[in-house]
Amino acid sequence: MWRLIFLVLLFGCVGGNLDSDFGAGYVGVRYINDPLGEGRAPDSDPLIRFDAFDCTTFVETVLADGDVQKLNKIRYANGVPDFVQRNHFIETDWITNNSDIVKNVSNQYAPTAVHTVTIDKKNWFKLKHKMDTDFAPRTVRLEYIPYRYAADIKVARPVVVLFLRDNPKIRDKIGTDLAVRHMGFLLPAGTLRHASRRAGAVVDMDFRKYVQRMMESPKNLGIMILEIKK
């Protein structure tokens, strides 16, 4: 218990300052998949924690400056913790419901393309969670920068970067299409700061090298750059 309190105090103070270290205090914290929940069924994980992240919860916690109320506003459509109302899908939920804090500005950095994806939340809830919902399928057009233009991108201030992938077979596994495969922060020094499953922790990497690795698979499409509004 005291260890958890210490972590909250430590990382809450040094981990989420958007004007200085931009999550640097979390570098080295371990990666685990889906570390946050509502504290009750069907996802009894805690609303906030600082000892483990996945790529999405790392970005969300830094944007929330380590504050649980701000984090709830980012993670849920109405700001009230509820599994069904969580922004499960970056493509249709997260970007739209957080339009007050982020904006897709990909076309300001390089030539762009458009990837169309249909998110079927009703089918996903049914297949993956055995839950009946009334969500209608939603199709969105995602403007992104193809990887051939992405490696040389420079930013003047930190941005959220989303990594897109075309994987039509995913519907058979999870009940819906999917496009965003990963997210993190691109920093002015050309550093990608992200919670990496491969590294098993929050790490800093050379953005150019990461892009070059992504280009090895033709299924990987490119990146979206989201400006963080002041």
Give the per-residue pLDDT at 201. Answer: 98
pLDDT at 230: 74
13 vs 1: CA distance, rounded Å:
18
pLDDT greater than 80 at residue 163:
yes
pLDDT mean over 118-133: 97
Provide the b/e sequence for 20-39 (b: ≥16 CB within 10 Å).
eebbbbbeebebbeebbbbe
Does 15 score more than 80 pLDDT? no
- Res. 22 pLDDT band, cuts 50 70 90: confident
pLDDT band at residue 26 using 50, 70 and 90 as cut-offs: very high
Domain count, the chain: 1
CATH code, domain carrying 194: 2.30.260.10
CA 181 to each of CA 56, 89, 161: distance values in angstroms, whole numbers, following the listed order: 10, 11, 11
Residue 106 has pLDDT above 90, yes or no: yes
Q: How far is 199 from 13, CA to CA, in rounded Å? A: 25
Give the pair of three-digit tokens for residue 98: 């957080």
User: Of the candidates 224, 139, 125, 137, which has an alpha carbon nearest to the alpha carbon of residue 181?
Assistant: 224
Percentage of residues in the chain having pLDDT higher than 70: 91
Is the per-residue pLDDT at 222 higher than 80?
yes
Residue 11 pLDDT exceeds 90 = no
- Given a cut of 50, whether residue 170 has pLDDT beyond it is yes
Instruction: Tell me what pLDDT residue 4 has.
Output: 39
State residue 6's pLDDT score: 35
Q: What percent of the chain has pLDDT over 90?
A: 88
* Amino acid at the residue 64: A
pLDDT beyond 60 at 39: yes
Task: Report the C-alpha gap between 181 and 65 in whole angstroms.
Answer: 24
Place of tokens 């849920």: 76
The mean per-residue pLDDT over the stretch 160-186 comes to: 95
In terms of pLDDT, which residue wins out, 200 or 167?
200
User: How far is it, in rounded angstroms, from Cα 120 to Cα 171?
Assistant: 9
pLDDT for 65: 95
- In this prediction the pTM is 0.90
CA–CA separation, 107 vs 153, rounded Å? 12
User: What's the pLDDT band for 19 if we cut at 50, 70, 90?
Assistant: very low
End-to-end C-alpha distance for the chain, whole angstroms: 35
Q: What CA–CA distance (Å, rounded) separates 133 from 90?
A: 19
Domain span at residue 41 reads 2-228
